[in-house]
């Protein structure tokens, strides 16, 4: 939201708005979400420009990832000095004619992620997710991208009263 609410005459956004990263951080911190089975593979993160450079949530992102993963490997450069994924500001939406610009321009990004030796990249942003997945395929690397919400869903503990009894089990 570049100057969004300001261009409409509001000095600050009229309703507080949060990024999901911050929300998930609060959930994990307050114990609303409990992590049951941590990820074992080496994991790294992508700092999206909109969340980390513009809103400064890099620390919260890492704290969620560290809570849910056993082997966390940080990128370099990181936080607000991180490289863009080459899909920002709508470049992701330009379609097939412009795919090459993301693949060629993203070389710095993918080299940086590859240097960490991680197998999973946690990306909290839709554009970053799609482009890094495409970059991995383009440069033929053995990596995989995961959303931060996907990570939480895979690792969180579902309380007993919410668990669904699978039909196969009930028949036994």
Partner 1 sequence: MIKMQRKTVTDQGFDETVKNLTPEKIEKTINYVLKKEAAARLKAYVETCVHCGLCNEACHFYLSYDRDPSYSPVSKVRQTLWDMMKKKGKVDAETLKMYARIGYTECNICRRCSMYCPFGIDMGYLMILVRRICGLLKVAPLYLQDQGYSHMYTYSQSWVAQDDWVDTVQFVEEEIRMDIKNARIPLDKEGAEIMYSPHSLEAKFKTNLLANIAKIMNVAKIDWTMPSFDGWDSTNQAMHVGDHETMGMVERMHFNAGFKLKVKKIVTSE
Out of 40, 76, 81, 144, the only residue in the binding site for partner 1 (CB under 8 A) is 81
Query: Which is closer to partner 1, CB of 119 or CB of 147?
Result: 147
Residue from 12, 142, 161, 171 binding partner 1 (CB under 8 A): 161
- Is residue 58 within 8 A of residue 78, CB to CB? The reply is yes
Using rule CB under 8 A, residue 20 touches partner 1: yes
Q: Which is nearer to partner 1, 100 or 141 (CB)?
A: 100
- Strands of the sheet containing 144-147, edge to edge, are 69-72, 39-45, 120-123, 144-147
Residue 162 touching partner 1 (CB under 8 A) = yes
- Crossing angle of the two packed helices 20-30 and 58-68, in degrees rounded to 10: 50
| β-strand partners of 146 | 122
Check residue 74 and give left, alpha or beta (phi > 0: left; psi -120 to 50: alpha).
Answer: beta
> Which region, judged by CB under 8 A, interacts with partner 1, from 38-46, 64-72, 85-93, 137-145?
85-93
User: Contact region for partner 1 (CB under 8 A) — 47-55, 64-72, 113-121, 137-145?
Assistant: 47-55
Is residue 24 part of the contact set for partner 1 (CB under 8 A)?
A: yes
| Closest among 12, 45, 9 to 118, alpha carbons compared | 45
Rounded CA-CA distance 143/141 in Å is 6
Contacts of 137 (CB under 8 A, 6+ apart): none
Q: DSSP label at 159?
A: P
Select from 56, 70, 94, 115 the one that contacts partner 1 (CB under 8 A): 94
Tokens 């080459």 sit on residue: 86
Q: 11, 140, 142, 163: which one contacts partner 1 (CB under 8 A)?
A: 163
Residues making contact with partner 1 (CB under 8 A)? 1-2, 4-5, 7-8, 13-20, 23-24, 27, 32-33, 48-51, 53-54, 80-84, 86-91, 93-95, 97-98, 100-101, 104-109, 124-127, 147, 149-150, 152-153, 156, 158-159, 161-164
């Amino acid at each position: 939201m570049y100057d969004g609410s300001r261009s409409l005459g509001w000095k600050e956004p009229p309703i507080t708005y949060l990024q999901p990263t911050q929300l998930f951080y609060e959930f994990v911190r307050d114990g609303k979400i409990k992590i049951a089975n941590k990820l074992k593979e080496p994991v790294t993160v992508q700092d999206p420009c909109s969340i980390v450079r513009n809103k400064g949530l890099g620390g919260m992102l890492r704290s969620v990832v560290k809570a849910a993963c056993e082997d966390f490997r940080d990128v370099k450069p990181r936080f607000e000095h991180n490289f863009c994924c080459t899909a920002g500001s709508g470049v992701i939406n330009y379609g097939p004619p412009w795919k090459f610009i993301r693949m060629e321009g993203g070389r710095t990004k993918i080299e940086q992620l590859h240097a960490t030796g991680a197998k999973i990249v946690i990306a909290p942003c839709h554009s970053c997710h799609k482009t890094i997945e495409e970059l991995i395929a383009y440069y033929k690397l053995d990596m995989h991208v995961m959303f931060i919400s996907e990570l939480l869903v895979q690792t969180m503990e579902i309380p007993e009263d919410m668990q669904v009894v699978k039909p196969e089990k009930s028949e036994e």
